[in-house]
Structures are given as structure tokens and as C-alpha cells.
Amino acid sequence: MRNAFVLCCSIAFAGAIGTANAQDWTKSKWGPADEIGAANYMTPELVVKAASLVKTGKTYPLGMIVDSKTPAYPPRSFKITVVQPGQAGIPGLGPNKATYNDDIIDSWVGIGSQIDGLGHLGIEHVYYNGNKLLDFADPTGLKKLGIEKVPPLVARGVLLDMAAYYNTDVVKEGTAFNVKEIEEAAKKQNVEIRQGDIVIFHTGWLGLVGKDDKRYSAGEPGLGVEGARYLTSKGVVAIGADNWAVEAIPFESPNLFEVHQILLAMNGTYILENMDTAALAADKGYEFLFVLGQPRWRGGVQGMINPIAIR
């Protein structure tokens, strides 16, 4: 079994590298010093246009609630501990007897709703803009491509309701969204995908959490390889979905997380995982103002997030 897995990984990397070399992916169109990738597509003019989408003022939190039972990619886990520092055995602090709670989080960052930074996934230890692992990765934090480099993401958001497209509550695992499916879903909703957009897929998959965690973790519908190339060619800033990896699993080929490689390493396009899209889809919120200020942990690979959709 182990030898088969190693062989599968070798085939996957060989295939990805062949595609990458053909595209000369190690050189960013924004220059050798660039560390923010597709965030460069955002302009003040596009932000102003995105803000004009707000008509009702209704807001939608796209981040899911996380606790110790939240299923996550192994071996990731989450734990919160609430403490009352220095208050044991006394009625309170000072003459006014002040008391307070603090919390300690012992957690992997890549759990729940999250943004994958450009230092997350690479190809044979080479990452976005040709950055080599040994040159920028350190146990104390990334020296380049850290999550603190990502500017606030404020853009036109586009929701593609793939559950409605397939006329189901939950799209079947392994279903890949490629050019045909993306274009047909967008046409059905009367929306156009444009440069500078943030595209999010609704599949109903997040609704399995707490009901069928085993199925939720075993696979998912999501973006296909052709679809990833299509969306990055349009100049989108980020792509998300209401599942744990955004891309279709089981994979379309022996290649492992090839969509991640296409988005992050080759194009600098951010990935938004476990977006809570149910309410937005129910209201047919296909266009909206997307706002995200991610945690600015210096050298971080990922960030727990709660983006806001505003209509």
C-alpha cells in the first residue's frame, strides 16, 4: 500500500510539473518580488464598484462555528480553554473586585473556515513566484508569502449555486465543476465572472457537518482542473466553496491536490475553504460585496476567517 501511495505521489508531481513548466509558472506577472499574487487584481475602482452592489444592507457571515468536534483534515484539531488568571480563591481584583475571563486556543490554523495563503502548497518544494522551500520556510514562520502580506480582500463576490444547478440539496462527492458547468451555472443565474472577482461555490456539503462527518471528510464536490485554469485565466482574486478543500475529491486523476497547485503555486489565487454559503444561496445572493480582513500572523501559512457578504 505504501509503495502504491509513493508511486501515485510521484506520478502526480510529474504531471503537475510538466504542466507548470509549460506555463513557466515560477515567474509572476507582477515581478520577482511579488508576494500577494492575484490580490493585485483588486483596484480602488473595482472596490468602489463592488460597494455599489449593496442595496439592502443585509450581511451574511461566511465563517462556520468551530469547536473541538469540528471535522478537519488529519491531524488537525481545535481546543479552547477558558481561564480566570490570578483570581483563584479571591472575590476579585482590586478594591472594586474586578473579575474577567480569558481564553487559550490550542489549535491548528487550517480548521473550519480558512484562507490558504500562497505559501501553503507547492510543486516539488517550489511555491508561488519560484520561492523555494529552503529559502523561505522556517519553523518560526514563513520568511516570504506569510499571511500577513495579504491585503484586505474587498471585492465583488459571485456565488455559483451548484446545488441548484444540479437540482439537489447536496452535490455528489467527486463532481467536478469545469468550464461547461461554471458557464452554465453563471448563465442560469444571469451573472458574469470578471477580473477582480471572488468566486464561491455552494454545494450543500457543509450541511453534512454534525450530521454525517464521515461522509463530509471522505470526499466532496468541487472545482475541477479545467475549471481552475478557466477561472484563473479570468483574473479572479480568490475561489472558495462550502467544503474543506474547494476541489473535487475523489480527484479527477492520480494527481493529488492539483487544483491547489494551479491556484496557489501557479497563479497566486487564494483559496477560501468551508465557506458557510447556505443563507446566501437561500436568498439567491449571487452578487455581493465581499469583505475580509484576515488575521495578520507574521509568517502564517493560513488564517481562520469569517468573511462577510453584504447585499
pLDDT at 11: 40
Determine, yes or no, domain membership for 79.
no
- Residues sharing a CB contact under 8 Å with residue 228, sequence separation 6 or more, in sequence order: 239, 247, 258, 259, 262, 263
Q: What per-residue confidence (pLDDT) applies to 12?
A: 43
As a whole number of angstroms, the distance between CA 38 and CA 42 comes to 8
For position 23, what pLDDT does the model report? 57
Task: Supply the pLDDT for residue 51.
Answer: 98
Q: What are 104-162's pLDDT values in tens digits? A: 999 999 999 999 999 999 999 999 999 999 999 999 999 999 999 999 999 999 999 99
Give pLDDT, residue 4.
38
Residue pLDDT, tens place only, 201-218? 999 999 999 999 999 999
Domain of residue 10, residue span: 2-73+109-310
Q: Which residues of 281-301 are buried (b: 16+ CB within 10 A; e: fewer)?
A: beeebbbbbbbbebeebebbb
Split the chain (311 residues) into runs of 10 and give each run's mean pLDDT.
38 43 81 98 98 97 96 95 95 96 96 97 97 96 97 98 98 98 98 98 98 97 98 98 98 97 98 98 98 95 97 97
Q: pTM of the prediction?
A: 0.91
User: In the prediction, which pLDDT does 20 show?
Assistant: 42
Please check whether residue 161 lies inside any domain of the structure.
yes
Angle in degrees, CA 73, 15, 8, rounded to 5: 50
Q: Is residue 93 part of a domain?
A: no
Question: What pLDDT shows up at residue 93?
Answer: 96
Provide the CATH number for the domain around residue 277: 3.50.30.50
Residue 142, all three cell numbers: 514563513
- Please indicate, yes or no, if residue 149 is contained in any of the structural domains: yes
Domain assignment of residue 11, yes or no: yes
Number of domains composing the chain: 1
The one-letter amino acid at 89: G
Decide: 136 and 144 in contact? Cβ < 8 Å: yes
In a domain, 100, yes or no: no
User: Does residue 235 sit within a domain?
Assistant: yes
User: In sequence order, which residues have a C-beta less than 8 Å from that of residue 230 and are 6 or more positions away?
Assistant: 178, 179, 182
Residue 27 lies in a domain: yes
pLDDT for the residue numbered 10:
42
Q: For residue 289, which phi and psi values (nearest 5 degrees)? A: -85, 125
